Amino acid sequence: MSLEPVPPPPTFSRLGRVGAIIALVVVAGVAIVGGASYLGRQVGGLFGNNGSGRVDVEPGIEVEVVIPQGASAADIAAILAGKGVVASAPEFEGLVRSEGAAAELKAGTYQLVTGMEPSQVLEALRTGPLVDVYRITIREGLRVGEMLEILSEGSGIPVEEFEAALQSGEVTTTLKDMPDSPFLQDWEGLLFPDTYEFSQRSTAVTILQRLADTMVQRVESVDWSEFEADGYSIYEGIIMASLIEAEVRVADERPLVSSVIHNRLDEGMPLQIDATVLYALGTRSPSDFDREVDSPYNTYQNTGLPPTPIASPGRASLEAAANPADTDYFYYVLSAEDGSHTFSETLEEHNEAVRKAREDGVLP
């Protein structure tokens, strides 16, 4: 077969819930904060600050703090205490009330320091975030080296610093047991593709840790229970999602491609995915395709999944890996200029689909 290149409620870990809450409310701007919500109390409570006491933190550590639009003084106080910027949420909220400053606090992304004086924090929130935040977009399906190139271009930090950060062990993830000195390939598929905002003072380590933490949050938001019941690990789910990401251009086909991968694995058939061969060759050009290349990533010569992801999958591909469509498909072939495929149950049907795709000029 030639594979042409191409929910029950989500569950969160304790820290994953915190990351998801914050990720959903990142705001870069200077909108006035007002209104009431319970978001800040949730954040503060999850960090162990329930408003009844002070938080002991190591002072002098730079932290990024996101103040969402619509947060109340109590919300903001809890967020600050949860980050260790202030030692007591009630104390900071009381200061805001006594100053009559609740309507003056501005939303945005701040670079603050743990253990600050409440009066200093209040002044910073009245002034608003410094306009030194830049945005970087990482699209789905990129390899780790390609992602580092984009991060370098957007941040001005040399690629070598990003590579060193990943290989030093300073950046961490819970999705894979990393060696003490990981290779870049160990990080394949573990940095989430998205649009991010960073401070000009962000380092290679803080930037990469943000991408790694976001991937953990996105993976934990998927229900993997049936997938794991079939004997797969979540890391294998990320590998599978990376194959889906590499193969699919039409969104509705993700669960179908997932079903082909699942069906072939169940039958012990080689996956025969061209994208894995191109990854083994270190290229994206179909003209360089060589199904005889000696590599564990060559899914024409090896059964099972490749040893690592081959790209960074988005959440839709993670969902598709965990929840494949229920089909008897074992084959698919590119059949239209928009990137859509024809799916087949038998080799005979597949060969006919290949013939038609060539007749239509879609395949060479």
Q: CA 77 to CA 117: how far, in whole Å?
A: 13
Q: What is the mean pLDDT of each run of 10 residues along the chain (364 residues)?
A: 41 39 36 38 41 63 89 95 94 96 92 90 90 88 98 97 96 95 96 92 93 96 97 98 97 97 98 97 94 96 97 98 98 95 97 96 90
Domains of the chain, first to last: 14-127 (3.30.1490.480), 133-220 (no CATH), 225-329 (no CATH)
Which residues, 6 or more positions from 289, have their beta carbon under 8 angstroms from its beta carbon? 274, 277, 278, 281
What single-letter amino acid sits at 230? D
Strand partners, 198: 134
Mean pLDDT of the chain: 86
Q: CA 206 to CA 338: how far, in whole Å?
A: 38
The predicted structure's pLDDT at residue 11:
36
The pLDDT tens digits for 134-165 are 899 999 999 999 999 999 999 999 999 999 99
What SS3 class is residue 87?
coil
Strand partners, 195: 137
The predicted structure's pLDDT at residue 30:
35
**pTM reported for the whole predicted model:** 0.67
DSSP one-letter code for 106: B
The predicted structure's pLDDT at residue 131:
64
The predicted structure's pLDDT at residue 357:
95
Q: CA 129 to CA 132: how far, in whole Å?
A: 8
